Amino acid sequence: MSREFVTHEESNSSLNEGYSPYIVWLVWIVWLPFIAPPIVQLFQSHSSLPILVIMLICSVLFIATYTWATLQNARVLVALEPENVANPKWLAILLLLAFSLTIILLGAGKGYGNAWFGTLIFTSAYVAGRLPTFQAFISDILLTLLTITLGIFIHLSSFETGQSTVFVFVVGIVTMSVVRAVVTGQKLRAAREEIAHLAVTNERLRIARDLHDLLGHNLSIIALKSELAGRLISVAPERAANEIRDVESVARTTLQEVREAVAAYRQPTLVNELHAAQEILAVANITYHFEGDETALESLPTTIDAMLAWMVREGVTNVVKHSRAHQCTVRFTKNVKRVSIEIIDDGTTFDAHAPVTGNGLRGLSERVTALDGHYESGSLVQGGFRLFASVPLIQKRQETDYENRSLERS
């Protein structure tokens, strides 16, 4: 899975484009058609004109309040903006409760109050998505108790009361889960963009330092030797030719060093990926543990360091997206011959003997195999998922080159 660096302005733009508020709004308004049957029943009930007018007004005001309040909530969720103190969430909740109770109690006098219990379901959906998790859960329980009380008060059957109670409670829990998933997704996206922005800043500083170290000294040598050669060309042509050859040698060396530096910029590093993993896991409320010698992270060959970096990136991404884990451990081991990395979480348990497939994991397997390494991935019997890779520190190509150089010296 690739991750591109973006500017701060682009990150804010992409964050706002992550979800449309109107798509999130569908979580609430998709159920509005279910309020149509009670309204039709109201016109067929032959109620007195005052009762009919009051119930119609309350119904319209309930739908308007619910529609407006849930749209405002969707916008707050998508924007991830601090809650506006002036935003009347409690007023909206009180209005929804007042309109619901009025309609149910007036309808109960005409024998169809149970048809309007759906307004409490809509109220539960709004409250569950609007309040913080603990407050939303307590409010959902209170609304469930209110539903039971109203069912007893207006003499509903046990089945009707139980049915309405279950719907009020379940809709609240489901809405709460969906909204929290949206919020978590937005926070993860914001964290990734912030990490990318910080990485760009750090990379610019590193490039500036590297260019100064690589080019500053060598270009100074080239300038001085070129100036010297210009002075010697008429006085000592042979010395001038030697200086020109030195200039050519320094220029070629500088070109090679720049190419190697550019190649290194394009590869992820294990140190950076471990820092990014810690940030992303923290946002997802997953505890991060690292086991290993951190000083050994800096002395890895470039190809192995890049492979381990991809391993951490893909493994942690899967933990955040799929595992529902509470803890994630990254274990790094290095000895004289081999280096290995292991990513373990305590998330959802799958069949430990089932094959694990996916483009990301398949790509990791190919990267490890290309370095003559050993790769494992799969669910653990005690729960969770394990990703493991081990590769030799000296690759076959390096061994062959070393043998060839030894033969040449002999």
Answer yes or no: is pLDDT of 204 > 60: yes
Among 156, 189, 222, the domain-final residue is: 189
pLDDT at 223 over 90: no
Q: Euclidean distance between the first and final Cα of the chain, in Å?
A: 47
Examine residue 299 and state whether it is found in any structural domain, yes or no: yes
Are residues 284 and 185 part of one domain? Answer: no
Domain shared by 177 and 38, yes or no? yes
Q: Which tokens is 100 given?
A: 């619901």
The 10s digit of each residue's pLDDT in 304-329 is 898 898 899 888 888 887 778 889 99
Domain that holds residue 32: 8-189
Residue 58, pLDDT above cutoff 80: yes
Task: Work out how many domains the chain is built from and give that number.
Answer: 2
**In-domain check, residue 68:** yes
Residue 167: Cβ within 10 Å count: 17
Instruction: Record the pTM.
Output: 0.49
Would you say 332 and 292 are in contact if contact means Cβ atoms under 8 Å apart?
A: yes
Predicted confidence (pLDDT) per residue in 117-163, tens digit: 888 888 888 888 888 888 888 988 999 999 899 888 888 888 888 88
Residue 241 belongs to a domain: no
Q: Residue 389: in which H helix or E strand, if any? A: strand 385-392
User: Does residue 125 contact residue 28 with C-beta atoms inside 8 Å?
Assistant: yes
Of the candidates 68, 40, 66, the residue with the CA atom closest to the CA atom of residue 119: 66
Hey, what are 138's tokens?
């307590």
Per residue in 94-107, pLDDT (tens digit) is 999 999 888 888 87
| Mean pLDDT of the region 29-37 | 80
**pLDDT at res. 263:** 65
Please say if the pLDDT value at position 360 is more than 80. no
Q: Please indicate, yes or no, if residue 47 is contained in any of the structural domains.
A: yes
Identify whether 226 is part of a domain.
no
Domain end residue (candidates: 136, 155, 189): 189
Is the same domain home to 51 and 177? yes
CA torsion angle 155 159 165 166 (round to 10):
180
Sheet architecture: strand order including 287-291: 287-291, 327-334, 338-345, 385-392, 374-379
Reduced to 3 states (helix: H, G, I; strand: E, B; else coil), residue 17 is coil
Task: Of 190, 151, 193, give the one whose Cα is nearest residue 168.
Answer: 151
Token pair for residue 110?
A: 């005409």
Q: Is the pLDDT of residue 397 over 80?
A: no
In a shared domain, residues 178 and 301: no
Residue 378 region, left (φ>0) first, then alpha (ψ -120 to 50), else beta? Answer: left
Q: Is residue 249 a part of any domain in this protein? A: no
One domain for residues 163 and 17: yes
* In contact, 319 and 328? CB cutoff 8 Å: yes
Average pLDDT over residues 112-120: 74
Tokens standing for residue 30: 């998709």
Query: What's the CATH code of the domain at 372?
Result: 3.30.565.10
> Does pLDDT of 409 surpass 50?
no
| Residue 409 domain flag | yes
Residues 181 and 281 occupy one common structural domain: no
Tell which of 139, 174, 189 closes a domain. Answer: 189
151 close to 167: Cβ distance less than 8 angstroms: no
Q: What is the CA radius of gyration of the chain?
A: 33
Distance, in Å, from the CA atom of 311 to the CA atom of 60, rounded to the nearest integer, reads 56
Q: What is the dihedral of CA 183, 188, 194, 198, to 10 degrees?
A: 160
Per the prediction, the chain carries an average pLDDT of: 78
pLDDT tens digits, one per residue of 327-352:
999 999 998 889 999 999 998 755 43
Most distant CA atoms of the chain, gap in Å: 120
Maximum average pLDDT range among 185-194, 251-260, 286-295: 286-295
Q: Both 277 and 148 in a single domain?
A: no
Scanning the structure block, which residue is given the tokens 């109770």? 101
